[in-house]
Chains A and B, each alone.
Chain A
Amino acid sequence: MTARLDLERIVDDRRTRIIVCCGSGGVGKTTTAAALGLRAAERGRQACVLTVDPARRLAQSMGLTSLDNTPRQVEGVDPASGGSLHAMMLDMKRTFDEIVEAHTDPDRAAQILANPFYQSLSSSFAGTQEYMAMEKLGQLRHADEWDLIVVDTPPSRSALDFLDAPQRLGRFLDGRLIRILAGPAKVGMSFMGVLNAGFSMMTSALTKILGAQVLKDAQTFVTALDTMFGGFRERAESTYRLLQAPGTSFVVVATPEPDALREASYFVERLDAERMPLAGLILNRIHTSPAARLSTARSLAAAETLESQNDLSVPGTSSAVAAAALRMHAERMQLGKRERRLAEHFTSAHPAVPVAEVAAQPEDVHDLAGLRVIGQLLCEPEVSAS
Chain B
Amino acid sequence: MISPDTDWDGVRLHVVTGKGGTGKTTVAAALALALASAGRKVLLIEVEGRQAIARLFDCPPLPYQERKIAIGLGTGNGEGGDVLALAVDPEGALLDYLAMFYNMRRAGNALTKLGVVDFATTIAPGLSDVLVTGKATEATRRRIKAGSKDSPHVYDAVVMDAPPTGRIGRFLNVSTEVSDLAKVGPIRTHADTVAKVIRSPQTAVHFVTTLEEMPVQETLDGLAELQELTDGAIAPGAIVVNMARPALLSPDELAAAADGSLDVAGLAAALKAAGIADDDHLAADLAAELREHALQVALQDRARAELRAAGRPQYELPMLTDGIDLAALYELAAALRQQGAA
Q: Which residues from 55 to 94 on chain B have a C-beta closer than 8 Å to any C-beta of chain A?
A: 94
Distance of A213 Cα from B270 Cα, bound (Å): 79
Which chain A positions have C-beta within 8 A of B250?
315-316
Distance of A255 Cα from B23 Cα, bound (Å): 13
Give how many B residues have a beta carbon under 8 Å from the other chain's beta carbons. Answer: 82
Which chain A positions have C-beta within 8 A of B19?
25-26
Which chain B positions have C-beta within 8 A of A57?
213
Interface hit among A11-19, A99-107, A169-177 = A169-177
Are B126 and A168 closer than 8 Å at their CB atoms? no
Distance of A322 Cα from B285 Cα, bound (Å): 12
Set A120, A127, A366: member contacting B124, Cβ < 8 A: A120
Distance of A289 Cα from B215 Cα, bound (Å): 26
Q: Chain A CB within 10 Å — which of B125, B170, B180, B217 has the most? A: B125
Interface hit among A36-44, A142-150, A327-335 = A327-335
Are B289 and A329 closer than 8 Å at their CB atoms? yes
Distance of A366 Cα from B299 Cα, bound (Å): 13
Q: Is A309 an interface residue when CB atoms closer than 8 A count as contact? A: yes
Q: Is A64 an interface residue when CB atoms closer than 8 A count as contact? A: no
Are A322 and B267 closer than 8 Å at their CB atoms? yes
Set B110, B214, B269, B276: member contacting A198, Cβ < 8 A: B110
Distance of A305 Cα from B271 Cα, bound (Å): 10
Distance of A217 Cα from B122 Cα, bound (Å): 15
Q: Is A227 an interface residue when CB atoms closer than 8 A count as contact? A: no
Which chain B positions have C-beta within 8 A of A121?
122-124
Q: Which residues from 212 to 268 on chain B have a C-beta closer than 8 Å to any C-beta of chain A?
A: 212-215, 217, 248-250, 252-253, 262-263, 266-267
Are A53 and B290 closer than 8 Å at their CB atoms? no
Q: Which residues from 2 to 58 on chain A have a C-beta closer than 8 Å to any C-beta of chain B?
A: 24-27, 53, 55-57
Which chain A positions have C-beta within 8 A of B102?
205, 208
Are B21 and A335 closer than 8 Å at their CB atoms? no
Distance of A224 Cα from B46 Cα, bound (Å): 36
Are A155 and B50 closer than 8 Å at their CB atoms? no
Which chain A positions have C-beta within 8 A of B322?
334, 338
Are A210 and B182 closer than 8 Å at their CB atoms? yes
Are A294 and B282 closer than 8 Å at their CB atoms? yes
Are A327 and B274 closer than 8 Å at their CB atoms? no
Which chain B positions have C-beta within 8 A of A177?
114-116, 118-119
Interface string of A92-111 (1 = CB under 8 A from B): 00000000000000000000
Which chain A positions have C-beta within 8 A of B291?
362
Which chain A positions have C-beta within 8 A of B262?
321
Set B49, B188, B213, B274: member contacting A366, Cβ < 8 A: B213
Distance of A217 Cα from B181 Cα, bound (Å): 8
Interface string of B110-151 (1 = CB under 8 A from A): 110011101101111111000000000000000000000000
Are A124 and B21 closer than 8 Å at their CB atoms? no
Are A315 and B187 closer than 8 Å at their CB atoms? no
Residue of B nearest to A290 (CB): B285
Interface string of A298-337 (1 = CB under 8 A from B): 1001110110010000011011111111111101101100
Assuming A211-B185, A260-B21, is B114 touching A176 (CB within 8 A)? Answer: yes
Are A26 and B98 closer than 8 Å at their CB atoms? no
Distance of A208 Cα from B188 Cα, bound (Å): 11
Which chain B positions have C-beta within 8 A of A241?
none
Are A290 and B126 closer than 8 Å at their CB atoms? no
Which chain B positions have C-beta within 8 A of A155?
20, 164, 166
Are B125 and A214 closer than 8 Å at their CB atoms? no
- 22 A-B pairs with CB atoms under 8 Å apart are A25-B164, A55-B217, A117-B124, A119-B180, A124-B126, A175-B119, A198-B114, A208-B102, A211-B186, A211-B188, A212-B185, A213-B182, A258-B323, A303-B274, A321-B249, A321-B266, A323-B270, A324-B290, A328-B293, A331-B321, A338-B323, A364-B214
5 extra interchain contacts, Cβ-Cβ under 8 A, other than A291-B288, A293-B279, A320-B253?
A25-B21, A27-B21, A155-B164, A175-B119, A211-B184
B residues adjacent to A (C-beta < 8 A): 19-22, 48-50, 52, 94, 97-98, 102, 104, 107-108, 110-111, 114-116, 118-119, 121-127, 163-164, 166, 170, 177, 180-188, 212-215, 217, 248-250, 252-253, 262-263, 266-267, 269-271, 273-276, 278-279, 282, 285-293, 295-296, 299, 321-323
